[in-house]
């Protein structure tokens, strides 16, 4: 639910008239050592605005300053972190990243499955990406970073990722990086829950076919619904 809510908030505030173009500035440090982290990815959740930290851990991200945006910081070997950006704190962001626990499998009663992707890959892909026309041509490029654990007694499947999931959305011409925070499928209750953060990049070459597919996808999207809703309510407010 967290990712859905944050995505909706991003869309709503993106089309709000109260924003200013500026630069988000800050620094990323190791929580334990307080040393700067070089090369960490810094991005606005569910957007194409991204950058990386310099040797001293500093970063600058040109972005429309909107209230309550999620600034996400991701780096291999660390837990992803986020900071809510407002018009008051965008020039002095300080983020501490916590190292991931590497002994998780050793202390767990239920180990990760050795051939997890072979057994659960299709199910995870369909649950995570979907089964639509566009989803069927979307591919996870680094499945080896996914770890699967299934509890037979509770019938619960959990999935974790050692680093961001790289996704190729061929039909729409996007490369997506997704920081998976959690994935949990309860077969007894027939429920699936997952959350995370993401940013995307355009293909270097955008064809007419991709533009056409994007228009088709937009007509069926939540973004179009929200824009239509805001336009209707905007007219009512004027009246």
- How many Å separate Cα 214 from the centre of its chain? 20
Q: What is the pLDDT of residue 65?
A: 75
Q: What is the pLDDT of residues 24-69, one digit of tens each?
A: 999 999 999 999 999 999 999 989 999 999 999 999 998 887 778 8
Residue 235 has pLDDT above 80, yes or no: no
DSSP letter, residue 164: P
Residue 2 has pLDDT above 70, yes or no: no
Q: What is the pLDDT of residues 127-182, one digit of tens each?
A: 999 988 888 889 999 999 999 999 999 999 999 998 999 999 998 999 999 999 99
Q: Burial of 48 by CB count in 10 Å (0-12 exposed, 13-18 middle, 19+ buried)?
A: exposed
- How many Å separate Cα 105 from the centre of its chain? 25
Query: Higher model confidence: residue 97 or residue 2?
Result: 97
> What is the torsional sign of CA 96, 102, 103, 104?
positive
Nearest to 49 by CA among 79, 19, 78: 19
Q: What is the pLDDT of residue 221?
A: 63
DSSP letter, residue 144: G
Q: Please identify which residue in the block is written with the tokens 């996870």.
A: 140
Q: What is the pLDDT of residues 76-112, one digit of tens each?
A: 999 999 999 988 888 899 999 999 875 444 445 678 8
How far is the C-alpha of 16 from the C-alpha of 90, rounded, in Å? 18
Q: What is the pLDDT of residue 108?
A: 56
Residue 21 has pLDDT above 70, yes or no: no
Average per-residue pLDDT in the chain? 83
Q: What is the pLDDT of residue 8?
A: 41
Q: What is the pLDDT of residues 186-234, one digit of tens each?
A: 999 999 999 999 999 999 999 999 999 888 877 766 555 555 655 555 5
Q: For residues 167, 49, 172 and 197, what is the CA-based torsion angle, rounded to 10 degrees? A: 40
- The whole-model pTM stands at 0.78
């Amino acid at each position: 639910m967290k990712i859905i809510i944050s995505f909706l908030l991003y869309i709503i505030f993106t089309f709000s008239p109260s924003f200013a173009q500026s630069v988000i500035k800050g620094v990323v440090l190791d929580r334990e050592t307080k040393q700067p982290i070089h090369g960490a990815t810094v991005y606005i959740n569910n957007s194409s605005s991204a950058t990386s930290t310099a040797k001293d851990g500093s970063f600058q991200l040109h972005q429309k300053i909107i209230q309550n945006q999620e600034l996400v910081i991701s780096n291999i070997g660390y837990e992803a972190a986020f900071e809510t950006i407002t018009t008051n704190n965008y020039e002095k962001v300080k983020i501490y990243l916590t190292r991931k626990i590497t002994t998780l499998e050793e202390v767990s009663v239920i180990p990760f499955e050795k051939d997890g992707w072979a057994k659960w890959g299709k199910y995870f892909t369909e649950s995570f990406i979907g089964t639509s026309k566009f989803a069927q041509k979307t591919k996870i490029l680094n499945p080896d970073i996914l770890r699967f654990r299934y509890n037979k007694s509770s019938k619960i499947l959990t999935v974790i990722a050692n680093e961001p999931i790289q996704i190729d959305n061929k039909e729409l011409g996007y490369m997506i990086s997704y920081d998976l925070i959690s994935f949990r499928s309860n077969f007894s209750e027939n429920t699936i829950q997952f959350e995370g953060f993401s940013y995307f990049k355009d293909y270097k070459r955008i064809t007419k076919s991709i533009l056409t597919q994007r228009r088709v996808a937009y007509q069926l999207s939540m973004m179009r619904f929200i824009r239509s809703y805001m336009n209707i309510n905007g007219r009512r407010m004027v009246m």
